[in-house]
Amino acid sequence: MTNYYLNLNAQSNGDHEVHKESCYYYYMYKSGYNFELLGSFNNEIDAVNYAKIKHPEYKIDGCAHCCSKAHRG
């Protein structure tokens, strides 16, 4: 199980990305952006689905680097 975080700040394309806590991009951006701890999940698909339920107003995508199975592109 891994902790996943949702970026509360949208990317330039309007997406809010989900990251694993071990992700390089999470470490790069955590000081400058607001991240919400989603919790611990077995895989990124479950984490992204949970984020979508929790924030139906957001366009949510998995990070291309750490959540490639949930990344739409």
Binding site for Zn ion (CB under 5 A): 19, 23, 25, 63, 65-66
Q: How far is the CB of 61 from Zn ion (least distance, A)?
A: 11
DSSP helix/strand/coil, 1: coil
Q: Output the residue with the shortest Cβ distance to Zn ion.
A: 63
Residue 7 and residue 51: Cα distance in Å, rounded?
10
In this complex, which beta carbon is closest to Zn ion, that of residue 51 or of residue 63?
63
Q: How far is the CB of 70 from Zn ion (least distance, A)?
A: 10
Neighbouring-strand partners of residue 36: 6
